[in-house]
């Protein structure tokens, strides 16, 4: 099949970017979107041009490295699918695909389709863990976790940290990402002791990183390759609210954010 790829090209954060169109004459419908970019890059190199920079690693939808916006939709048109597993058969012969990087203030652009997502690591660093050091654990079965809770926790824990939720949100909010971790850990008995402190710290960091606020639009869960449910945001809000009442005096100090507020 034939396709036109209209790709955002930008050398770095200091220079201006623009779209450049590339005609692809021989696209196999079985190829993944990233393999299609591989083929494009091979031709660009042989033509003496600079290949398109895009992030990728495992190419099986689990590492969370890849992701860009295709025709306005983060990770493209297929439900619950990252771009590395999106096969070209989902597009019509002759179609034009517009590829753009995640656009969010908290994700500074590095090059072409690659952005800096360290802000997400900062949110985890602020409290997205259970404070247990190696060696302190009791026997695995000493902590019983009902199947329903374990399943719900796993649903939230499936987040791959790709950042599609932020890219899809009109406010560029990281509420789905943050809520997923707060839910994964908070509803487990192991995570209960730090539940409030965790919610406070992580939300404070999320705000410091210049992510926008959640206004319950739901685009995030719509594009999420792991279909993280919107309820995790409700859980986050509830934990944050309860914690704010109880721990008003000990609000956490966030670590230095990736992008400083102007």
Partner 1 sequence: MKLDARIPSGPIEEAWVKACFDMKLVNPANKRKHSIIVVGSGLAGAAASASLGELGYNVKCFCFQDSPRRAHSIAAQGGINAAKNYPNDGESVFRLFYDTVKGGDFRAREANVYRLAQISGKIIDQCVAQGVPFAREYGGALTNRSFGGAQVSRTFYARGQTGQQLLLGAYQALERQIHAGSVTMIPRTEMLDLIVVDGRARGIVTRSLITGEFNVHIADAVILASGGYSNVYYLSTNAKGSNVTASWRAYKRGALFANPCFTQIHPTCIPVSGDYQSKLTLMSESLRNDGRIWVPKKKGDPRPPNEIPQDERDYYLERRYPSFGNLVPRDVASRNAKAMCDEGYGVGKSGLGVYLDFSDAIARLGEKTIRERYGNLLDMYQRITDEDPYKIPMRIYPAIHYTMGGLWVDYQLQSTIPGLFVLGEANFSDHGANRLGASALMQGLSDGYFIIPYTVGNYLASNKFPKVDESNPAVQEAFTSVKTKIDKLLSIKGHRTVDSFHRELGKITWDYCGMARTAEGLELAIGKIRALREEYWQNVNVPGSGDDLNASLEKAGRVADFFELAELMCIDALNRNESCGGHFREEYQTPDGEAQRDDEHYSYVAAWEYAGPNAAPELTKEPLEFHYVHPSQRSYK
Of residues 25-64, which lie at the interface with partner 1 (CB under 8 A)? Answer: 28, 30-32, 34-35, 38-39, 42, 44-46, 48-51, 53, 55-64
CB closer to partner 1, 31 vs 230: 31
| Distance linking the first and last C-alpha atoms of the chain | 47
CB closer to partner 1, 9 vs 217: 9
Best CA proximity match to 9, nearest among 33, 41, 39: 41
- Give the shortest CB-35-to-partner 1 separation in angstroms: 5
- Give the shortest CB-81-to-partner 1 separation in angstroms: 6
CB closer to partner 1, 127 vs 257: 127
Q: Are 106 and 261 in contact (CB under 8 A)?
A: no
- Give the shortest CB-216-to-partner 1 separation in angstroms: 26
Alpha carbons 199 and 175: distance in angstroms, whole number: 12
Among 19, 20, 23, 89, binds partner 1 (CB under 8 A): 89
Among 2, 11, 72, 253, binds partner 1 (CB under 8 A): 11
CB closer to partner 1, 111 vs 196: 111
Concatenated DSSP letters for 106-169? TS-EEETTEE--HHHHHHHHTT-S----TT----GGGS---HHHHHHHHHHHT-----HHHHH-
Residues 176-195 close enough to bind partner 1 by CB under 8 A: 184-185, 188, 190-191
In sequence order, the β-bridge partners of residue 70 are 73, 99
Residues 193-232 close enough to bind partner 1 by CB under 8 A: none
Residues 146-175 close enough to bind partner 1 by CB under 8 A: 146-147, 150-151, 153-154, 157-158, 160-161
Give the burial class of 36: count Cβ atoms within 10 A of its Cβ; 0-12 exposed, 13-18 middle, 19 or more buried. buried
CB closer to partner 1, 154 vs 216: 154
Alpha carbons 66 and 250: distance in angstroms, whole number: 38
Best CA proximity match to 234, nearest among 259, 199, 192: 199
SS3 state at 179: helix
- Give the shortest CB-103-to-partner 1 separation in angstroms: 17
- Give the shortest CB-212-to-partner 1 separation in angstroms: 21
- Give the shortest CB-117-to-partner 1 separation in angstroms: 6
State yes or no: residue 118 binds partner 1 (CB under 8 A). yes
Q: What is the size of the binding site for partner 1 (CB under 8 A)?
A: 81
Alpha carbons 65 and 234: distance in angstroms, whole number: 27
CB closer to partner 1, 215 vs 253: 253
CB closer to partner 1, 25 vs 30: 30
Concatenated DSSP letters for 30-86? TSBHHHHHHHHHHHHHHTTPPPPP---SSSSS-S-----EETTEET-SSTT--GGG-
Residue 40 to residues 47, 132, 157, Cα–Cα distance (Å):
11, 47, 35
Residues 121-150 close enough to bind partner 1 by CB under 8 A: 121, 124-141, 143-147, 150
């Amino acid at each position: 099949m034939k396709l036109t790829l209209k790709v955002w090209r930008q050398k770095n954060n200091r220079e201006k970017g623009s779209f450049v169109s590339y005609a692809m004459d021989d696209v196999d419908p079985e190829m993944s979107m990233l393999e299609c970019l591989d083929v494009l890059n091979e031709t660009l190199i042989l033509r003496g041009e600079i290949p398109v920079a895009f992030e990728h690693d495992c190419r099986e939808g689990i590492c969370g490295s890849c992701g860009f916006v295709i025709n306005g939709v983060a990770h493209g048109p297929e439900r619950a699918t990252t771009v590395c597993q999106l096969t070209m058969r989902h597009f019509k012969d002759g179609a034009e695909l517009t590829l753009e990087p995640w656009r969010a203030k908290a994700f500074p652009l590095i090059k072409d389709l690659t952005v800096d997502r360290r802000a997400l690591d900062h949110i985890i660093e602020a409290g997205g863990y259970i404070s247990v050091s190696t060696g302190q654990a009791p026997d695995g079965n000493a902590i019983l976790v009902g199947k329903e809770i374990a399943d719900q926790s796993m649903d939230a824990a499936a987040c791959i940290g790709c950042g599609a939720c932020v890219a899809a949100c009109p406010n560029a909010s990281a509420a789905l990402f943050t809520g997923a971790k707060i839910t994964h850990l908070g509803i487990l008995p192991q995570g209960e002791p730090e539940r409030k402190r965790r919610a406070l710290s992580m939300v404070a960091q999320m705000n410091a990183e210049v992510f926008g606020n959640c206004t319950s639009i739901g685009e995030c869960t719509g594009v999420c390759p792991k279909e993280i449910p919107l309820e995790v945001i409700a859980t986050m809000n509830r934990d944050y609210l309860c914690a704010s009442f109880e721990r008003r005096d000990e609000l956490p100090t966030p670590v230095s954010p990736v992008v400083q507020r102007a």
